[in-house]
Amino acid sequence: MPRVRIGELELFHTADGAGEPVLLVMGLGGEHHAWDLVRRELARRYRLVLLDNRDAGASDEARGPYGTGDMAADALGVMDHLGIERFHVAGASMGGAIAQHLALLAPTRVATLTLVATWGRTDAFLATILASWRLMVERLSPEQFLAALAPWAFTYRFLEAPAPEVVALQAAARERGLLKSVAAYRRQVDACLAHDTLALLPLLRTPSLVLVGEDDILTPPRYARALGAALPRGEVVLVPASGHACFLETPKPLAERVLRFLARHPLAA
Closest CA to 69 of 108, 92, 99: 99
The tens digit of pLDDT for each residue in 60-94 reads 999 999 999 999 999 999 999 999 999 999 999 99
Tens-digit pLDDT profile for the chain (269 aa)? 699 999 999 999 999 999 999 999 999 999 999 999 999 999 999 999 999 999 999 999 999 999 999 999 999 999 999 999 999 999 999 999 999 999 999 999 999 999 999 999 999 999 999 999 999 999 999 899 989 999 999 999 999 999 999 999 999 988 888 789 999 999 999 999 999 999 999 999 999 999 999 999 999 999 999 999 999 999 999 999 999 999 999 999 999 999 999 999 999 86
β-pair partners for 89: 23, 113
Domain at 3-264: CATH code: 3.40.50.1820
Give the pLDDT confidence score for residue 156 in this predicted structure: 97
Give the pLDDT confidence score for residue 1 in this predicted structure: 63
The pTM score is: 0.97
R_g (Cα) of the chain, nearest Å: 17
Give the pLDDT confidence score for residue 128 in this predicted structure: 98
